[in-house]
Structure 1
Amino acid sequence: MPSTLPDGDPVPADGSLPAGALDGLGERPFAFYVHVPFCVTRCGYCDFNTYTATELGPGASRDSYADTAISEIRMARRVLGDVDLPVETVFVGGGTPTLLPPEDLGRVLAAVDAEFGLAPGAEVTTEANPESVDERYVTRLREQGFTRISYGMQSAREHVLAVLERTHTPGRVPQVVEWTRKAGFEHINLDLIYGTPGETDDDWRGSLEAALAAEPDHVSAYALIVEEGTRLAAQVKRGELTPPDDDAMADRYLIADELLSAHGLHWYEISNWAADPRAACRHNMLYWTGADWWGVGPGAHSHVGGTRWWNVKHPAAYADRLSQGTTPAHAREVLNAADRRFERIMLELRLAQGCPATLLDDKAVRGAIDDGLIEPAPYESGRAVLTRRGRLLADAVLHTLT
């Protein structure tokens, strides 16, 4: 089942924020994340806050979900007041958002536009499983105003997909990408996972080559994490599967960076490669550069002006709170100056543009340069940028520099 929510401070019933959180509101970019917590089946590696039909229970349903999410969007407008907040990006994640009809997703988007207004050229993304859409679906989705789709491809090898308990066949991905491009979508991402038990270097190369053959303008590649409480973790614990090997993971990352770069996709964040700056995921860039966003849906996280909060997890509890006119927030925390500085370094150091040198201790950075972890030339120009080796050791570099 999904992981538990963190503890935090209580949230007022009306969802009001601490006084300082609204300072500067509207001066920073603003975005919406919308969580759709439904899946047909639960993949063995997944610990996201999602629910199959048998797990959902009474009090919540797919049919009523769009209306419930719209209630929270209207609450967001009340909490944030009448400050002009054009929405730069909207990202619909899950779960499997495309289990909802395109018109329901469109109504949620229309509510964001009605309450806040979409900025000109706003990026509007939904995640999708390849088997959850067809040509008609993506055409209708484009008509609702979506501009970008991120498909969970994960692998092109059937035995790897089987370990992950993914239900699509490898040949499905190029077909849905073709439909998506034909529907007029501006940007298409393919998500890949490396390090699955039983995967070889050749399997990984094959998956990358299959992804590139579909000609997306963006690829995300993530190392498999064996999350406690998942079926995959239980299989590893019982000795049925071998846990991911750190050295193999590093080799797979290097293979990805070399192959993707050779095909014109260049890293702009440790796990993300894009054909050009326009193809980079603007929504995720807002996360990584300290913007404000409101997270709609069960378990969704939000951040405004240094205050972070997270919603109750279960869709029934979420719907019940909103039906009573109270916030669905479970708890919150107010970040102090030291927390915000650390998070800024942690997030911006992951980017190809790097982190401002003024945030870092010069002696520590010089040592990291000597160790081949930080690029020397950008640092002399005021930015700390990880080398390829530094990307492999990013967590360790972060702790060295902070």
Structure 2
Amino acid sequence: MPSALPDGEPVPDDGALPASALVGAQDRPLGFYLHVPYCATRCGYCDFNTYTATELRGTGGVLASRDNYAETLVEEVRLARKVLGDDPRPVRTVFVGGGTPTLLAADDLVRMLDAIREEFGLAPDAEVTTEANPESVDPEYLAVLRAGGFNRISFGMQSARQHVLKVLDRTHTPGRPEACVAEARAAGFEHVNLDLIYGTPGETDDDWRASLDAALGAGPDHVSAYALIVEEGTQLARRIRRGEVPMTDDDAHADRYLIADEVMAAAGFEWYEVSNWATSEAARCLHNEFYWRGADWWGAGPGAHSHVGGVRWWNVKHPGAYAAALAAGRSPGAGRELLTDEDRRVERILLELRLREGAPLDLLRPDGLAAARRALADGLLAPGPFDGGRAVLTLRGRLLADAVVRDLVD
């Protein structure tokens, strides 16, 4: 099961924020994340806050059912309107994630989006994304989403090789994600992403190249490629511990990343975040950029995290407990923290350094600046941007991003 929520101070029953959270809000963009916590099966590597029907049976009754989930989530959107008061900002991004959002009826996803439109309004150029399992959509489903206002979709492809998908416990058929891209384009989706995972036990360089070729050949304008992380408590971690499959290899991860960057660049994709490539600035995922740049977003749904004006909070994890709180007229928030100036400085370095534009050097303390100069000398930071006052990772620096960040936050 997913890891525990962090500690924090209690969230008021009405969800009220400190007055300081909305100071200057008009100068910050606002996004919404909508979490759909249901999956048909649990993938072996997954530790997200998701639940199968078997896992929910007897643990929340009708409150945990996905049949009435859309209405429950709409209640949190209405709560958000009350908490944010007369905040005039229209919503700039909406991202529906999970879980498998497309296990809900397409009309349910549109209903959730309509609630945001009705309570807050959507910016004229709003980016509206949903994640989708390739086996849970068809042309009719996609047409309903597009007509309802969704303009971006992200399919979980992970790999083009059957034996790799089997290790990951992915149930879709190889070739189906590529077909989904064509169906999404036919439905009128302007932007389409494919998610890939590299470094799965048993995957070879040739397997990875085949996955990249298949993904790019399908014609998306965005690709996310993530190194497989084996999380404790997952089925994959247990299989590795029992010796059924080998442990993932850091050197293989590095090799696969270099292959990905080479192949993507040759296909006209540019990296804009360590794990994300796009064909143009318009094809970038603006919602994720909000996260990386510390913008405001409200996360609705079980276990969802939110951030507004330096206040971060998170909801109760279980769908039944989440629904019960809203039914009782209470915030589903489980805890929150008020970020200090130092917290926000450190987070800016952690997140902005992952971006193509990098992080301003004036965020660094003397020890961090000295570490940045060493990273520059070691070829981990690019000299041109450094001279202009920014720390920007080189390709080698991207391979060692976590280590570079740790040194710079000192």
What amino acid is aligned across from residue 82 of structure 2 in structure 1? R
Structure 2 distance, partners of 1:394, 1:178, is 35
Deviations 1:104-143 (A, max 9, x none): 1111101101111101110000000100101111111101
1:61 aligns with 2:65: yes
Structure 2 distance, partners of 1:332, 1:83, is 21
Stretches of structure 1 lacking an aligned partner (at least 5 in a row): none
Query: 2:32 maps to what in 1?
Result: 32
Query: 1:249 maps to what in 2?
Result: 253
User: TM-score with structure 2 length normalisation?
Assistant: 0.97
From 225, 230, 233, give the equivalent of 2:234: 230
1:399 aligns with 2:406: yes
| Superposed counterparts of 1:284-299, under 5 Å | 284-299=288-303
From 378, 385, 395, give the equivalent of 1:388: 395
What amino acid is aligned across from residue 143 of structure 2 in structure 1? T
SS in 2 for 1:267: strand
Structure 2 distance, partners of 1:169, 1:354, is 38
Query: 2:47 maps to what in 1?
Result: 47
Equivalences, count: 402
Structure 1 distance, partners of 2:97, 2:137, is 15
SS in 2 for 1:236: helix
Query: 1:90 maps to what in 2?
Result: 94
SS in 2 for 1:322: helix
Q: Note the C-alpha offset of 1:393.
A: 0.6
Q: Note the C-alpha offset of 1:101.
A: 1.0
From 175, 180, 194, give the equivalent of 2:198: 194
SS in 1 for 2:39: coil
Stretches of structure 2 lacking an aligned partner (at least 5 in a row): none
Deviations 1:184-228 (A, max 9, x none): 000000000001000011110110010011010000000001011
Deviations 1:293-326 (A, max 9, x none): 0000000000011110000000000000000100
Query: 2:114 maps to what in 1?
Result: 110
Query: 1:351 maps to what in 2?
Result: 355
| Superposed counterparts of 1:117-266, under 5 Å | 117-266=121-270
Query: 1:370 maps to what in 2?
Result: 377
Q: Note the C-alpha offset of 1:26.
A: 2.3
Structure 1 distance, partners of 2:362, 2:209, is 39
From 260, 267, 271, give the equivalent of 1:267: 271
SS in 1 for 2:47: coil
What amino acid is aligned across from residue 161 of structure 1 in structure 2? L
Structure 1 distance, partners of 2:106, 2:148, is 7
Query: 1:17 maps to what in 2?
Result: 17
What amino acid is aligned across from residue 168 of structure 2 in structure 1? L
Structure 2 distance, partners of 1:363, 1:377, is 17
From 78, 81, 85, give the equivalent of 2:85: 81
Deviations 1:14-41 (A, max 9, x none): 1111232121222211000000001111
Structure 1 distance, partners of 2:49, 2:370, is 42
Deviates more, 1:170-179 or 1:307-316: 170-179
Structure 1 distance, partners of 2:179, 2:256, is 26
Deviates more, 1:50-59 or 1:355-364: 355-364
Cα-Cα RMSD: 0.8
What amino acid is aligned across from residue 37 of structure 2 in structure 1? P
Structure 1 distance, partners of 2:200, 2:370, is 39
SS in 2 for 1:253: helix
Identity level (%):
67
What amino acid is aligned across from residue 186 of structure 2 in structure 1? K
SS in 2 for 1:26: helix
Deviations 1:309-367 (A, max 9, x none): 00000000000000010000001111111110000011000000111121124432221
Structure 2 distance, partners of 1:19, 1:116, is 20
What amino acid is aligned across from residue 334 of structure 2 in structure 1? H
Query: 1:318 maps to what in 2?
Result: 322
User: TM-score with structure 1 length normalisation?
Assistant: 0.99
Query: 1:5 maps to what in 2?
Result: 5
What amino acid is aligned across from residue 70 of structure 1 in structure 2? V
Q: Note the C-alpha offset of 1:10.
A: 0.8
What amino acid is aligned across from residue 397 of structure 1 in structure 2? V
Deviates more, 1:59-68 or 1:143-152: 59-68
Query: 1:331 maps to what in 2?
Result: 335
SS in 2 for 1:62: coil
Deviations 1:166-194 (A, max 9, x none): 00111111211111000000000000000
SS in 2 for 1:63: coil
Structure 2 distance, partners of 1:27, 1:97, is 31
